[in-house]
Structure 1
Amino acid sequence: MKIIKIQEVAENPEHIKALAKTLANGGLVCMPCRGTYRILADLLNEDAVINLMQSKRRTSKAPSLVFVPSKDHLSKITDEVPSVANQLAKDHWPGPLTILFEPSSEIPRSVVKQLTKANGHIGVRIPEDELMVRLLQEFGGPVLVSSANKEKKAGASSPAQIRKNFVSRVDHFVDAGDLSGDGSSTIVEIKDGKAHVTREGNISSEQLKKYC
């Protein structure tokens, strides 16, 4: 595990390039986003996804989350973007809104099987965190995102715990010190051309009323 302080990443673009290269080579990157640490892997790389899952000892039907660098990259996630989903993304991305999509045929079948156990869908959003977006843009594709803790265990806000748990799995760790969390994203599913809030987070149901 190579550890880089977040100030170094913010000040030196070469670090963003190095992190993107790690993802492109099938490695794992851990960095802060919305008050907790997240582990990232190339969504379209089967070995990278398996490595992430095994590192967390993830076996349950937990919902999956994917970050994309722009709305244009949705074509790599899903074969169809309903008009209401397109409008939601236009109005609320980057931001704490996760939209559920049926997975694209371009995603390896083994990956789809792993990621859709919870509800048959993949949750997608563009994060509002500046460094995360810069990394996604440099990488140029969708990344699977998971909290940096063992399944059903705490520790996603503690660099010390992350180093202990993932030292042999994560290739690059961007250290921003202890974090305190910043709320959860709102999750929306599209049914019959309308948005249905399945989990309310930092965006309220009232704010999404016009899409429902």
Structure 2
Amino acid sequence: MVLDTQFLAATDEGIGQAAAILRAGGLVAMPTETVYGLAGDARNGTAVARIFEAKGRPRFNPLIVHVPDMAMARDMAEFDERAEAVARAFWPGALTLVLPVKASAGLSPLVTAGLPTVAIRMPAHPLAKALLRAFGGPVAAPSANPSGKVSPTTADHVRQGLGGKIEAILDGGACAVGLESTILGLDGSPALLRPGGIPVEELEAMLGAIAVGGPGALPNAPGQLPSHYAPDAPVRLGAVAREGAEIWVGFGPDCAGADLTLSAKGDLVEAAAALFQTLRDADALAGPEGRISFAPVPETGLGRAINDRLRRAAAPRG
């Protein structure tokens, strides 16, 4: 479906309209000091799934959660003294912190990609701050561009890439920084997960030497291990019917006898929003001796991301 993407002015009325769209589960491109972000309610699984769909994002990578103040940040993540100090020094600003996520955060599982951490940022752009305050909740907001393309620094860049796929663009003019935020992992030893708008030297002046990438042999990022997002029960893919006593998860109208379904109508957005919770539900039903099977999901659009995560869930365990 092609949407009539609105341009919203940088006024109280425009901000109010944008907040109303977010509350209704819609998507709004908002300016930040780095680049324009594609904002959706971080607590609404369908809204978050639509972010992946609009961008054509090929796999479930964690999304950055944007918040208006420290009170909300502390509701989302565990801040130790080190994280508090870094936030005081660099927020609001072009720095994203990766911290342990709170169980009570209420975020869609798609936001964190099933990881025990959350990437969180407090933007400095006055329009972004105003929208976050008006909305009153956390928003997931990757760059507002098709995946793999140049990041947008003006509202027109967003229109060129995502026009017809999102509800609105809040026009704040050109972005001041024009480079995505620096991502700093603080869930262990400090780690530079992405260089960006805050030079690493400024962070090292405060924290000392910072490693590049996550702790251990692999970066602290999703999608690196062959076996990932795996439930306790073994997983079988491509199941067109139940075998034995396994828990069969269907997709589409041809799976009427399935125990659970990612989407009875075959909607990939709905399936993406339901994937992680369905994995957990199927695991609980399977029990310690059971097995889970999944019906085929098309290898198109969000289906590629769904299948990527299902293949990792079904991979041999180390």
The TM-score bracket by the shorter chain reads 0.7 to 0.9
TM-aligned CA deviation for residue 94 of structure 1: 0.4
2:200 corresponds, among 183, 201, 205, to: 205
- Greater RCO, 1 or 2 (C-alpha within 8 Å, sep 6+): 1
Counterpart of 1:97 in structure 2: which amino acid? L
Give the Cα separation in 1 of the matches to 2:195 and 2:126.
Answer: 23
Matched residue, 1:145: 141
Q: What letter corresponds to residue 140 of structure 2 in structure 1?
A: L
Q: Corresponding residue for 1:128? A: 124
1:156 correspondence with 2:156: no
Partners of 2:163 and 2:179 in 1: CA distance? 27
Structure 1 distance, partners of 2:86, 2:155, is 34
Aligned to 1:69: 68
Q: Which deviates further from its counterpart, 20-29 or 30-39?
A: 30-39
Distance in 2 between the 1:24 and 1:202 partners? 29
Answer whether contact 2:25 2:46 (CA < 8 A) is retained. yes
Given the alignment, which residue of 181, 185, 189 partners 1:185? 181
Please name the residue that 1:3 is paired with.
7
Which residue number in structure 2 is paired with residue 55 of structure 1?
54
How far apart, CA to CA, are the structure 1 residues paired with 2:91 and 2:34? 18
Aligned to 2:83: 85
What is the alpha-carbon distance in structure 2 between the residues aligned to residue 72 and residue 189 of structure 1? 20
- Which of 108, 115, 125 aligns to 2:111? It is 115
Query: How far has the Cα of 1:208 moved from its partner?
Result: 2.0
Aligned length: 203
CA contact (8 A) 1:58 1:150 kept: yes
Structure 1 unmatched runs, 5+:
none
Distance in 1 separating the partners of 2:142 and 2:158: 13
Query: Relative to structure 1, is the Cα distance of residues 199 and 138 closer, same or farther in structure 2, using a 3 angstrom cutoff?
Result: same
1:102: Cα distance to partner? Answer: 2.5
Query: Which runs of 5 or more structure 2 residues have no equivalent in the other structure?
Result: 209-318
RMSD between superposed Cα atoms in Å: 2.7
Checking the alignment, whether the CA contact within 8 Å between 2:22 and 2:28 is kept in structure 1 is yes
The separation in 1 between residues aligned to 2:184 and 2:141, in whole angstroms, is: 18
Tell me the equivalent position of 1:195.
190
- On the 8 A contact 2:34/2:94 being kept in 1, the answer is no
**Identity over the aligned pairs, expressed in percent?**
27
What TM-score comes out, normalization by structure 2 length?
Answer: 0.56
Contact kept in structure 1, 2:32 and 2:175, CA below 8 Å: no
State the TM-score, normalizing by the size of structure 1: 0.81
Partner of 1:147: helix, strand, or coil?
coil
Cα distance in 1 for partners of 2:176, 2:92 equals 21
Q: State the distance in 1 between where 2:95 and 2:41 align.
A: 21
Mapped pair 1:44 → 2:43: yes
Name the stretch that deviates more: 197-206 or 115-124: 115-124
| Match of residue 94 from structure 2 | 96
* 2:153–2:178 contact (8 Å) kept in structure 1: no
Work out whether residues 183 and 192 of structure 2, in 8 Å CA contact, stay in contact via their aligned partners in 1.
Answer: yes
Query: CA 1:15–1:161 in 2, change beyond 3 Å: closer, same or farther?
Result: closer
**Structure 1 CA distance for aligned equivalents of residues 207 and 146 of structure 2:** 36
Where does 1:4-43 land on structure 2 (aligned, <5 Å)?
A: 4=8, 8-9=9-10, 12-34=11-33, 36-43=35-42
More strand by share: 1
Query: What displacement does 1:177 show?
Result: 5.9
Query: Quick one: distance in 1 between partners of 2:37 and 2:129?
Result: 13
Task: Give the direction of change, closer, same or farther, for the CA distance of 1:211–1:69 in structure 2 (3 Å limit).
Answer: same
- 1:73-121 Cα distance to aligned partner (Å, 9 max, x none): 023322x222211111122100111100233324557x32x33349753
